[in-house]
Amino acid sequence: MTFRGVPFARPPLGELRFRPPLPPEPWQGVRPANRFASAAPQSMPLPIVALQMIAVGRSAQSEDCLYLNVWTPATDGRRRPVLVWLHGGAFVMGSGSTNLYSGERLARRGDVVVVTLNYRLGALGYLNLKTLIDGQDVPSNLGLLDQIAALEWVRDNIEAFGGDPENVTIFGESAGAMSVGTLLGTPRARGLFRRAIAQSGAADNVSSAEEASEVAELFLRELGPSARDLTALRAAPLRDILEAQRAIMVPLLRGRQLVLQPSIDGETLPDAPLRAIEAGLSQSVSLLLGTNQDEFKLFTLGDRKALRIEEETLRRRLAAVLPGKDFDGTPLAELALELYGSDNPRIGHRSPGERWIAFQSDRIFHWPATRLAERHARSGGRSYTYLFTWTPPLLADRLGACHGLEVPFVFGTLRDPFLRATLGIMKGARDLSDRMQEAWLAFARNGDPGHAGLPDWPRFDAERHSTMVLGTHCKTEAWRFQDAARFWDRCEAADGEAPPRSLARSSGATA
């Protein structure tokens, strides 16, 4: 059974724009739930949208977007495990109703309830205007609050859909996984879920109050003088808001990973999520997290020169990302050039472009995942990790096991026509998909992803890293990125001794 377009909050329109979500208005009689609701408004300047995996047409967008979808085997009161999906899209695009996120197969296979949802994106969801709108209380982290409101709806209503409100697992990929990591460190979300799965995202993508204020200042400047009045801001045409968002994103993306994302605000997020997790806020939550071997290859599809760069170009890119020095005065970029050299056994004798991809994959994905697993384990939490290594028959060299490739394996949506045409999916992929679905379902049921179709999946140990490799042949092995994690820990420690870098000069993911 499928229920589409179920409201979990009131439409954030008019006076409710830039306000926290409110409970939906009650209705009389039976409300139809047979059509997906509109996605959140989104501006998409990134080249990865060409993949059409998470893109949403403009005609299917509206500020009236706070709805969720439920797939359930039956509404019989059996209290099944519940999996709540948080979609990705860099916090500026995506939707819970994308074809790849259909919960039908997962719900049927595991006798579970699957929920997908929309949340506010971009400027409407993640501007932090606290210090910029004089004399008016303007909340921040609205997209994060939308996610919490949806989880509260699940707690209060999912039993009527055959789900168990006391056995909820949140899972997400990319910005959805970053949301999972952030929720693990959000006091207000405590108790709303028992387990969490983070696919290619961790708890690092949170702006400081100063960074968020700088982004908001640039946005208001782009929108115009009247934008500093909250009444005018709520009345501004949606088109103008999206155009201002696009205008600030393009230049800022040259200098950082994400522009609009959760931020520390002293209220919803009183501290950095990693610190809260390390202090034990989510100690009782079981965590499954992992990354894909060649994460950054996806982002080079829009950069034809990425794989053909020369050694000197690689050196310049590393210096732009790591302008600081180690404690002994050695430039961090030189240390990176040594670690990511062609004689590194993990990287192999690769071109400068491929070494750049390995560097970026470690920096943006592998290292943050390692840190989250370590912090959670050291707080006493139960963690399991994976590395996805499957590569498609078509575009194997160009894509590898790139960012987002594991999503249709989890949902069992490999038959999607776009995927079949571009990747050449074959039977071996369906076998891996079966194993991964069983692992995700086992984790949702009892907090342990091990099952009969996989070898022993050890619990993550902060001192003895080991992980499950999910590929053509699944196996347990030592975590491959420990050398990179030590390097990036060292860089962070060295950078902590230096003054903060402005957004315009900070490190970038899309260089």
Active-site pick, 87, 376, 403, 465: 403
Q: What pLDDT shows up at residue 44?
A: 65
Under 8 Å between Cβ of 399 and 298: yes
What mean pLDDT is predicted for residues 193-221?
94
pLDDT of 394 higher than 90: no
Q: What pLDDT shows up at residue 55?
A: 60
Active-site pick, 140, 174, 213, 263: 174
Helix (H) or strand (E) holding 92: none
Tokens read off for 481: 């990125």
Residue % of the chain over a pLDDT of 70: 89
Catalytic, 295? Answer yes
CATH, range 2-289: 3.40.50.1820
Q: Which range, of 272-286, 355-369, 388-402, averages the lowest pLDDT?
A: 388-402
DSSP lists the bridge partners of residue 86 as 172
Strands of the sheet containing 475-478, edge to edge, are 2-7, 67-71, 113-117, 80-86, 163-173, 195-199, 286-292, 383-388, 466-470, 475-478
Whole-angstrom Cα distance, residue 476 to residue 497?
A: 38
pLDDT of 493 higher than 70: yes
Q: Which range, of 46-50, 328-332, 476-480, 483-487, averages the lowest pLDDT?
A: 46-50
Mean residue pLDDT of the chain comes to 88
Under 8 Å between Cβ of 198 and 289: yes
Active-site pick, 63, 295, 374, 406: 295
Catalytic, 403? Answer yes
pLDDT single digits (tens) 306-322? 778 899 999 999 998 89
pLDDT-derived band at 392 (thresholds 50, 70, 90) equals: confident
In this prediction the pTM is: 0.92
What mean pLDDT is predicted for residues 105-134?
92
Under 8 Å between Cβ of 51 and 58: no
309 against 169, higher pLDDT: 169
